[in-house]
A and B are shown apart, each in its own frame.
Chain A
Amino acid sequence: MEVFSKKGTDDTPSVTLDKDNGVFEFSGRSLPEDVQDFYGPVLEWIEEYGKQANDHTDVIFKLEYFNTASSKMLLDVLLKFEEINDNVGNVVVKWHYHEDEEDMKEAGEEYQDIVSVPFEYVVY
């Protein structure tokens, strides 16, 4: 599968989706003008990946900030991985947050309440 890679900007996150190397990572800031424009291709890639998923999928979120419109799209991303977890299994979400950022930890916990995928928290 082709690697999906987007370099982050002031208002969009870095995204790396690389099946061969087992790297699935979102980092930086997310407040794009048009969330569907940005996350549409991401969701399509994950959908394709789901048809031929690896034995293990560790999804890394290392986000500094995301706005509410992005939070809805991130839920859609997580729901796609939930589907993969239901079909193939072994999906783990590694939710990183800065030690000062209690709000980011809470955001992870809220997603964990909604999505049935195991979450691990990593403080940096």
Chain B
Amino acid sequence: MTKMTGNQDFLEFAYQLYHTMQANEINLVYEGVVTQEITRTFTAMTEKNMAKIEESNQVQRKVFNVMVECLQNISKHADPMSDDENEEHRGIVLVSHGEHSYNVITGNVVKREKKEKLEKSLEYINSLDKEGLSALYKQQIKEGRISEKGGAGLGFIDIAKKSGNKIDYQFKDLTDDLCFFIIITTISRN
């Protein structure tokens, strides 16, 4: 009997999910470990979808670009919820598209101690115009080094540059030490 109810709940959930995705024109939802393989698969899927609707090359490239940086951010920087190895490099990924824009939304767990630094850097990036971003990019590419995690410290700058829009972000408190970090990047279609 309990099993029946459980299944009913899941069916209801699946149905609601379907509706929510339709209503918000969400093309892709994922929660789990983000690897290079996942990055390759998701970007290829999204490219195929965009090609099908004859999206302009420039917009396709921008969406691809932003997705790669966002996914690699998760695979390099997401902190685990626990010491469980399976909890590493996990996050959520959503891609939606409407009449005027694409949205790439990613979220992952980060340690609270990183919050301030992330906020500062995103606020600074969001305060810059196109020339400012280009100058910051050039400075960082010259002075930066490839980190142990394999990043160049250029991800957010590039996301802001390529999208041409401000990066929307939010931190939700999870525990005393952890929060959930969500970023939304919008790529205009025209």
Which chain A residues have a beta carbon within 8 Å of chain B's beta carbons? 10-11, 31, 33-36, 65, 67-69, 71-73, 75, 98, 100-103, 106, 110, 113-114
* Count class of interface residues, chain B: 20 to 34
- Shortest C-beta distance, B117 to chain A (Å), equals 18
Answer yes or no: B40 CB below 8 A from chain A CBs. yes
Answer yes or no: B28 CB below 8 A from chain A CBs. no
- The 0/1 profile, CB within 8 Å of A marked 1, for residues 126-166 of chain B is 00000000100110011010100011101101100010000
Distance in angstroms between the alpha carbons of A115 and B36 in the assembled complex: 31
Distance in angstroms between the alpha carbons of A98 and B141 in the assembled complex: 24
Other than A69-B150, A101-B61, give 14 A-B pairs with Cβ distance below 8 A.
Answer: A33-B150, A68-B157, A68-B158, A69-B152, A71-B141, A71-B152, A71-B158, A72-B144, A73-B146, A100-B56, A100-B61, A103-B62, A110-B134, A114-B141
Knowing A10-B40, A68-B154, say if A36 contacts B69 (CB, 8 Å): no
Contacts of B134 in A (CB 8 A): 106, 110
Distance in angstroms between the alpha carbons of A106 and B39 in the assembled complex: 25
The prevalent SS among residues of B at the interface is: helix
Whether A75 pairs with B142 at a CB distance below 8 angstroms is yes
Answer yes or no: B57 CB below 8 A from chain A CBs. yes
List residues 44-79 of chain B with CB under 8 A from any CB of chain A.
Answer: 44, 56-58, 61-62, 64-65, 68-69, 72
Contacts of B151 in A (CB 8 A): 68-69
Give B75's nearest chain A residue, CB to CB. A33
Contacts of B44 in A (CB 8 A): 10
Contacts of B40 in A (CB 8 A): 10-11
Contacts of A36 in B (CB 8 A): 146, 150
